[in-house]
Every structure is written in structure tokens, then in C-alpha cells.
Homo-oligomer: A and B are copies of this chain.
């Protein structure tokens, strides 16, 4: 299975071009869109979101992961094998949190280059063909060489809002497994208490809960937490009791 995690936009002209390449090179491998609206220009937030999502993906899958404001610049393409899952993308930190949290990890530089490499769309021209090769078990063609990540954010949590979903819930970079339920989150001087589910709090009230990918998430029952609390991606999230 090939998963796609990008900031190419779910409604834009880019994802289809990537899928056409994958279909051509690996016609029997199913392709699943994990997210195409990863935080733009924000590789750190994207890295933490990807790490949380990836922990639940099937092993023996390949994730094409591209948030790449430096495309065409000097960052190198990498392939990372973390606990059995492949990640293919730019060496700019995006894959590094998932990698740092894995028990078994191998990092490879990618020596293969396509005949035509556009300046701005390595997702289509380079990362998609390499993902197709790896998904079919071919480690030869992409010319992998053992390497190390040039940019790494480490395994630790990120005390920030890393994603706002379409319900305007605020996903944080804090793993809920490390937070006692009596913890309160602090955002812009406001204290947010824990609740198990939406229906446990009155309509309109803000609370935090362990979301479905294991992160602490701030929501408001039947309301839009982001607008209500005036928060967006990158805003700091503190922890108190």
C-alpha cells in the first residue's frame, strides 16, 4: 500500500499527476490519500502530524511524504525504513519525528534520478517513482545508500497546535499517553480541562481529549474551537494541573 502525505492540496492539480505516475509504475499497488493539506511551509508541525498518523499505518507500506518549501534547493531526497514502514521524501525534517520514534530504523540516500526532473515538483518526478519501486520490493533501481538524516527534530512532543481539522478542532503535538487525565492544557492564558468525548461536555464548552491518533486535541462540543479560542497552527500549548 502507498500512502500520500503532502501539502499539494486535495483539490488541486498536483495529486492526480502523482497518482498517474504511481499507477504507471506500480499498477497493482493501492494508493491512499492520508492528507494533502499538511500545514504549509511548516515542516515541524507536519513532521509531528505524520509521526502520529504513521504509527497506525500498516507495516509493509510506503508513505510518500512531501512538504517541501525548499524544493529545487539543496536538500537531498531520502528513503527511511522505520519499524518496517518506508517513508520517501525530502531530508528536511518531515520524516524525522516518525524516524526518531521508531525502534528499528534505516536511512538511505536515493541515488536514482529521473530523465526529466522538474524544478518544482519532485513529488511527481522523483518521490513517486521511488515510492512505486519500494512498494514493489525493488531496492536496486532507486540506488539506495546507507546514510543519516541531515535534519532531525527528535522524538519529543511538540507543545504547539500542529493541525486544525475541518471541524476546527485543534490537534496538538502532545501525545495523550503522556498526559494524566487531570492535566489541564493552557492556551493563550486559558485553561482547558479533559473530557472523554464531545457528548460529555455542554454544547459550546472547550475541552481536551485523546484523539483518534493518540494526540491531545482541543475541541468544543458542537462548536468551532479554533475560532472560539482564537488559535491556529504554531500557537503554544502549555500543560498544567
Contacts and interface: CB of A to CB of B under 8 A. Distances in A.
Contact of A58 (B20, B36, B209, B210): B20
B41 A222 contact: yes
A30 interface: yes
A18 B53 CA distance: 12
B16 A35 contact: yes
25 contacts: A3-B20, A9-B166, A10-B10, A11-B37, A12-B37, A12-B165, A13-B35, A13-B49, A13-B53, A17-B34, A17-B53, A17-B212, A19-B32, A23-B30, A27-B30, A40-B167, A70-B198, A73-B197, A118-B211, A119-B209, A120-B198, A120-B209, A120-B211, A121-B211, A124-B212
A71 interface: yes
B121 A24 contact: no
Contacts of A32: 16, 19-20, 23
Nearest to A224: B40
Contacts of A72: 196-200
A237 interface: no
A174 B41 CA distance: 27
Contacts of A210: 119
A120 B30 contact: no
A33 interface: yes
Interface in A59-101: 69-73
Given A16-B35, A119-B210, A199-B73, A23 B1 contact: yes
Among all A-B residue pairs, the 3 with the closest Cβ atoms: A72-B197, A121-B212, A9-B166
A125 B213 CA distance: 12
Contacts of A197: 71-73, 119-120
A20 B35 contact: no
Contacts of A166: 9, 11-12
Given A16-B34, A120-B212, 15 more contacts: A9-B11, A12-B165, A13-B53, A16-B33, A16-B35, A17-B53, A17-B212, A17-B213, A24-B58, A70-B199, A72-B200, A73-B198, A118-B211, A119-B196, A125-B212
